[in-house]
Chains A and B, each alone.
Chain A
Amino acid sequence: MRAIGIVLAGGNNSRMRELSNKRATAAMPIAGGFRSIDFVLSNMSNSHIQKVAVFTQYNAKSLNEHLNSSKWWDFGRKQGGLYVFTPTTTPENSYWYRGTADAMAQNLGFLKASHEPYVVIASGDGVYKLDYNKVLEYHIAKKADFTVVTANVEEKDDPSRFGVIRTDSDGRITEFEEKPISANSFQVSAGIYIVRRRLLIELIEKSAEEERHDFVKDVLIRYKNVKRIYAYQMPNYWSNISSVDSYFSTNMDFLKKDIRDYFFKEYPDIYSKVEDLPPAKYNAGSSVKNSLVSSGCIINGEVDGSILFKKVFVGNNCVIKNSIILNDVYIGDNTYIENCIVESRDTIRANTKYIGENGEIKIVVEKNERYAL
C-alpha cells in the first residue's frame, strides 16, 4: 500500500477507571488472546502498510512490553518496520505530547523522511477489521483531502462520547463535533483517517506555529469547510474501548458466534505477540459454559458466561459468572465472582466474594503477593 501508518496510542481515559492505572487503553487485553492495539497493527500489516509509527505517552510500560518485537505483526523488515515514538526532550522542545497534532509535529521528521504519498492515522483502541486500501480507493475517487472512517452507533452506546458527524448525500462531512453535550447524529468518527502526506505535513506545521495541538479539533474540524473531508462508512463490526462499559461489552461480544467467527476464522487473521503457554487444562470438578478460555488456564471450578484471559487459575468450588478475568490471575478456592473485571496478575484469596451490583461492573484489584498467601 502506498501509505505509512501512524497509531495514536498515547491516550489515557478516565472512564476506564482503575483499569487505566495499569496501562494505556491501547494495551488493554481484548478477547482472551489480544490487546487492543493488535487490531490496528494487524489491519495495517494486512493492508500491506510496511512502515508504522506508534505514538505512546501515557503509562506505556505494558504497551512497550507488548511491542518489544515487531515480528508478530510481520513488521520485522528491512524496508520499513515498526517505530515506537515516546516524547523526548531536544534542544528545541521539552514538552510532552500536548495533543495528537503535537505528537505528529514532534515527529515530523518521520513524516518528512518517508516517500509514500499517503498516511493512515488510526487510534490504538478500536476493535475492527478493515482493509485500508479500500478507504484509500474511496479517498482518491472522492478527490478528498481527508477521509474519516465513520461507524454507526446506537443510542445506548452514547454517541456523545465520540466525534459526531453529519454528511451530505455525497458523503462529504458537513458537521463534525467532538464529544458534544448532546449528539444529533448516530454517525461517529472511528478515529481512522487518510490524508496525503504532503498536506498533513503542511497542516501540522501550520498548527504547531499557531500552538494548536489537537488533530481532530485543530486540524479536521478547523479545516472542515475549507478542505474536502469525506466519510467512509465502516462496513463491518467496530467497537471502541473508551469506558469500562464499552470495554466489558466489547469483550462479551466475542461470546457471539458471528462476531467470534468474523474475527477468529475469517481471513485475514488478527496477530498478537505469541506467548508460549500450554493448552488450557480442565480438571475434574470443573464446569465451563458459554465462555472463552485462553491458553495456560487451569480450571477446577465453575465458569459461566465469562472470559478467562491467559494463564488464569480457577480454584476448587469457585463460581465465576458474567466476568472478565485478565491475564495471569490466581483465584483461590471457594471464591465467588459475578459481574466483575479482575485486574491482571492479581491473586484473589480463597473464600472471597465479589459481585458487581445495580448493573455496574465491579473492578477487582487485590494486589496480593501470590507466594505470601
Chain B
Amino acid sequence: MIKKEMIAMLLAGGQGSRLGVLTANVAKPAVAFGGKYRIIDFPLSNCINSGVDTVGVLTQYQPLQLNTHIGIGIPWDLDRNVGGVSILPPYEKSTSSEWYTGTANAIYQNLRYMEYYNPDYVLILGGDHIYKMDYEVMLDFHKANHADVTLATIPVPMEEASRFGVVITDDKKQIQEFEEKPANPRSNLASMGIYIFSWPVLREALIKLKDQPGCDFGKHIIPYCHEKGDRIFAYEYNGYWKDVGTLGSYWESNMELIDLIPVFNLYEEFWKIYTKTDRIPPQFIASDAVVDRAIIGEAAEIHGEIHNSVIGSGVTIEPGAVVRDSIIMSATVIGAGTVVDKAIIAENVTVGANCKLGVGEEAPNEVKPDVYAFGLVTIGEQSVIPDNVQIGKNTAISGVTTASDYPHGLLASGETLIKVGDK
C-alpha cells in the first residue's frame, strides 16, 4: 500500500488581482520573477529540497501558463513513479459541480487525492511568496510537540504587526490566541499561511466544515481546531520571506536581487531554486551596450543601456534604448531609442522605438489607485506599444495598442489603457 509520510497541497488557484494587468491572463503563482523563475518555483523547490516528493497543485484561475510550466514536474525532479506533482483543477461531481470557493474548500474537494497517498501529515502551502524554507525542520518541530496543527510564523516589526494575522503563544510556542490585523498587537509573530496538519485532524475538520460557504483555513479551519482544543503550535521561521502580492512589493523584491550580496541569494549552492528552462544559449552583450547593475536571463540580446534592472530570458534591448529600475520579462522587445524608467513589462511585449515610459509627475491611477501605485508603469503580457509614444507614471497598459490610443502621443500619469479582445 502506498505510504507517504507528508504530502504537500499547494494552493495556486488565486488571481492575485493586486498585481493588475500582470495577472490578466496568468495566475499569480505563474508570474515571472527574478529574470528566469516563476513565483511557484520557490514553494516547489522548497518541497523537493525538503524531501517532500508528492505535491498536489490546486489550480483554478487562468491555469494554462501554470500547467505548461509544471508539466510532469521534470525541472523539480517531481516526475515520480509514485507521487510527484499532480495538477488538481476543480471538477464536476455526480451530485454537484462547484468551483473552489475557499482555500479549505479546495483542499476538501481533493480529499481522495490525499487519501490515496495515506499520509501522516499534510503540508498546506500558498503559491505567492518568495522564500527558502526547510519544511522537514518544521515537521520535526510538529512531531516533537505532538502537535495537531503547526503554523509557520515569522517575526515582523511590531509597528507593522497590525497588517498581519498574529499569534499569541505561551513559552513552549503553543498558540493561545489569534488576532487578525489587530489595532494594538500583543505579539509580532505573523502567520505565513503555511500549515502542517496531522492528517486525521485535517480530515475531520474538512468534513465537519464541508458546508461552510467559502471555507478558508485562516477564517474557519484554524479557529475550529482552536475551539475544540487541538494542540496548535507556532513554528518560528527567521529567513527571507517576501509577499509579492502588490506591484510595489513585487518590484522591490526583484530589485533586491541586484544588490551586491542580496539578502535572498540565488547563487548559493545549497538549496537551489529550480525552474523550467526554455532557453539554454548564453546572453549577448553588444559592443555599444552598457550594463550596470543588473541580472539578465539566458539568450537575451542587449544592445542598449541597462541600469539597475532585472531582465528576463530571450529579451531584446535594441540599440540606443535605456532601461532603468525596471523589470523586463521573457521574450519582450524594447525598441531602439526607447527610454524605460521604473516599469514592469510582462512577457512577449513589444515596445516600439523612441518611446518614453515613466515620464512626468506622479498622479494617482484613475481606475485602481491602490493597485497601480508606486510610480510604476505596468504593461501586461502580449501587449504592443507603438513607436514614439510617451507613457506617464502609475499607468497600466494591456493589449495591442496603436498610435490612435495615445492622444498627442501621450498616456498621462494615472491613466489606464486596456484593450481586450484584440489578440
Contact = CB atoms under 8 A, between A and B. Distances in A.
Given A274-B280, A281-B267, A295 B298 contact: yes
Contact of B286 (A31, A270, A289): A289
Given A290-B287, A292-B284, A276 B293 contact: no
Interface residues of B, number: 38
A300 to B, nearest CB: 9
A317 to B, nearest CB: 15
A31 B282 contact: yes
Contacts of B267: 278, 281, 296, 298
A278 B132 CA distance: 15
A164 interface: no
A293 B286 contact: no
Chain A CB within 10 A, most for which of B75, B280, B295, B306: B280
Interface in A285-304: 286-296, 298
Interface string B273-311: 111010011111111111111111111000000100011
B181 interface: no
A264 B280 CA distance: 8
Interface in B134-173: none
Interface residues of A, number: 37
Given A279-B36, A281-B258, A286 B282 contact: no
A293 B296 contact: yes
Contact of B280 (A271, A279, A281, A307): A271
Contact of A278 (B260, B284, B291, B295): B295
Contacts of B75: 274, 276
B205 to A, nearest CB: 37
B266 interface: yes
A298 B258 CA distance: 11
Contacts of B371: none
A159 interface: no
A336 B285 CA distance: 20
A288 B272 contact: no
A272 interface: yes
Given A281-B295, A292-B284, A274 B34 contact: no
B35 interface: yes
Contacts of B292: 282, 284, 286
A71 interface: yes
Nearest to A313: B267
A255 B283 CA distance: 10
Nearest to B268: A278
Contacts of A32: 281-282
Nearest to B277: A274
B74 interface: yes
A370 B306 CA distance: 32
Given A33-B298, A279-B296, A290 B285 contact: yes
Interface string B317-341: 0000000000000000000000000
A283 B285 contact: no
Instruction: State the main secondary structure of chain B at its contact with A.
Output: loop
Given A289-B286, A298-B267, A279 B281 contact: no
Contact of B260 (A260, A283, A290): A283
Nearest to A294: B282
B303 to A, nearest CB: 10
A263 B274 contact: no
A270 B272 contact: no
Contacts of B260: 283-284
A288 B34 contact: no
Nearest to A308: B282
A280 interface: yes
Nearest to A297: B282
Contacts of A289: 285-289
A354 interface: no
A282 B275 contact: no
Nearest to B291: A282
Given A289-B285, A290-B286, A290-B287, A282 B280 contact: no
A34 interface: yes
B296 to A, nearest CB: 5
A309 B35 CA distance: 18
B287 A33 contact: no
B285 A288 contact: yes
Contacts of A283: 260, 293
Contacts of B258: 281
A276 B280 CA distance: 11
Contact of A284 (B285, B293, B295): B293
A288 B291 contact: yes
B36 A278 contact: yes
A272 B287 contact: no
Contacts of B289: 288-289
A282 B296 contact: yes
Contacts of A282: 291-296, 306
Given A255-B284, A276-B274, 12 more contacts: A270-B280, A274-B280, A278-B266, A279-B34, A279-B266, A280-B295, A281-B258, A282-B291, A282-B292, A282-B293, A292-B284, A294-B298
Interface of B: 34-36, 74-75, 258, 260, 266-267, 272-275, 277, 280-299, 306, 310-311, 313
Interface of A: 31-34, 71, 255, 260, 263-264, 269-272, 274, 276, 278-284, 286-296, 298, 307-309
17 contacts: A32-B282, A33-B298, A34-B281, A276-B275, A279-B35, A281-B258, A281-B295, A282-B291, A282-B295, A286-B292, A288-B285, A289-B286, A292-B285, A293-B296, A294-B283, A294-B298, A296-B267
6 A-B pairs with least C-beta separation: A32-B282, A279-B35, A278-B266, A264-B281, A294-B282, A292-B282
